[in-house]
Amino acid sequence: MKKVEVAKGIHLLTMNVNDMLFEGIWEIAKGVTLNSYIVKGEKTAIIDGVIGWDGVPETLYSNLEDIGVNPKDVDYLIVNHMEPDHSGWIKNFEKINDKFIIFCTDKAAKLVSSFYNNDKVRVIKEGDKLDLGQGKVLNFYPVPNVHWPDTMYTYESETKTLFSCDMFGAFGSMGDHHFDDQLTLEEVEFFENEGIRYYSNVMTTFTSMVKRAIQKAEELDISIIAPGHGPLYRKNPQKIINDYKRFSQYANGAGKNQISILWGSMYGMTEKAVEFTEKVLKREGVRYNKLKMPLESDSEMVATVFKSAGVIIAAPTYEYKLFPPVASALDELGRKKVSGKTAFRFGSYGWSGGAEKELKEIIERNNMKWDFLESVEFEGAPTQEDFNKIEEKVLALINKMKDKVVE
C-alpha cells in the first residue's frame, strides 16, 4: 500500500491488484488500482475503505501512523458505494474501533446491515454536510447507478476535492505517478485505453445515469477529482469529465476513426474474406482491430467494439444460426447497451443459411439500433464476385461511419 498526500489534511491510500476478475467477470490484464482516502480535521473520516488491509491490527496501525492517524480515533466511515472492493474491510475494522459512524445513502444502508450486520449508520440526503473541523467539510450528493444504485459523491469544500467513487475511474495499475500532472505521454495513452476498457466493461449499461453524474460534477467547483480506481486529476480535472462525456457518446454509436472486425470461422472460408477485407482497409489507410471469437476475452472485445466508429461482423452460419462465439459476443454487447454502431456483416454458409436471421434477432432483442449495410453471404469459399461485393460494402462503411467519429 502506498500513502500519498493529496492536499492539506487529505491522503490517498492505494494499491495495485493484478490477480482478480473485476466483479468476478472482467479480465484486467493490466491490473487496477484500489484507492481510499483519509480526511483529517479535528475529527477523522475514511472514504471508501482502507484498501489492502489484511485484517491484522498491527498492519493497519503501520499503514496509518505515517499520516498521523490512529485507527481507534477514526470517527466516520464514508461509504460512497457498498461494492466489497470499497467496503469489504468494515467487519475487521470493527474489531479495532466500534465507535465510528457510517455515512451512506439509504440504499447503501440496507446493504451495510445485510453485509456486515452494522446499524451505526447515518443516511445522507442531497446536500447534507459533515463538518470535521479545521475547515474540512464533507458534502454528499447521491449519484445512483454509476454503477450501483447506492453510489454517492463526497465533496470536500476547502480543498474542492471530489471523491467520485467509481465515477471517473479507470483500470490499469499505477507506478509512482498518481496525479495527472505526473503522467508521462505513454501513461496518458495507457490510462486513455484503460479508461475506455473500464467504462465499457463497468459503466456502459448505465450511460444515461453517467450523464446525470457528469452534470452533477459540473455544478461543483472542483480542483481535484479523486476516484476509487485510477489516477487523480488536479492539473486539469475537466479532462476526465470531458473524457467521460466522450465515452458516453461511444456507448451511443460514436467512436474513434477505426473499425473492429468481430469474427469467427470454422474451416477458413469466412477467414478468407476477412483476409481480403484487411487488404482493403490497409489500402484505404483505415485503422482496424481484429477480434477472433472465442479466443478474445469479453473485456477486450467489449472495449474494442465500444470505441470503434465502425464494426464488421464476419461469421458463418452454424447449425442454421449465427456462429455461436460471435452470437454470444453480440449478445454481451447488447447486455452492455452498446447501441447505434454502423456495421456490416459477411459470412459463408453450406447447405443452408440462417446466420442473418439470428443476427437480426439479437440486434432487435437487445434494442441495439445498429445501422447495418446489406450483408454479403456466400456458399462455401468466397469467389471474386463475392470479394467485389465485400469491397463495395467495406468502402461504403468507411464513408458512412465518418459522421460517427469522435476522437
Q: What is the mean pLDDT of residues 285-296?
A: 98
Q: In degrees to the nearest 10, what's the CA dihedral of 172, 173, 179, 183?
A: -80
**pLDDT of 85 higher than 80:** no
Q: Which of 201, 224, 251 is the last residue of a domain?
A: 251
Contact 11, 37 (CB under 8 A): yes
- Containing domain of residue 135, as a range? 2-251
What nine digits make up the cell of 18? 493484478
308: in domain? yes
328/262 same-domain check? yes
129 or 93: which leads in pLDDT: 129
Q: Are residues 34 and 143 in the same domain?
A: yes
Shared domain for 133 and 234, answered yes or no, is: yes
Number of continuous H segments (helices) and E segments (strands) in the chain = 12, 22
DSSP assignment of 106-166: HHHHHHHHHHH----EEE--TT-EEEEETTEEEEEEE-TTSSSTT-EEEEETTTTEEEEET
Q: What is the pLDDT of residues 202-255, one digit of tens each?
A: 999 999 999 999 999 999 999 999 999 999 999 999 999 999 999 999 999 999
Cα distance from N-terminal residue to C-terminal residue, the chain? 35
Q: Structural domain tally of the chain?
A: 2
**DSSP class of residue 405?**
B
Q: Is it the case that residue 272 has pLDDT exceeding 60? A: yes
* Distance from C-alpha of 354 to C-alpha of 359, rounded to nearest angstrom: 9
- Has residue 357 been placed in a domain? yes
Tell me, yes or no, whether 383 lies in a domain: yes
Per-residue pLDDT at 33:
92
Q: 20: buried, middle or exposed (CB in 10 Å: 19+, 13-18, 0-12)? A: middle
Q: How far apart are CA 391 and CA 180, in angstroms?
A: 43
pLDDT, residue 23, reads 76
Instruction: Report yes or no on 407 lying in a domain.
Output: no
Task: Using the structure block, give the residue that is written with the C-alpha cell 461504403.
Answer: 396
| 226 lies in the same domain as 350 | no
User: Average pLDDT, whole number, for the chain?
Assistant: 93
| CB 207, CB 252: distance < 8 Å | yes
**Closest Cα partner for 382 from 265, 285, 282?**
265
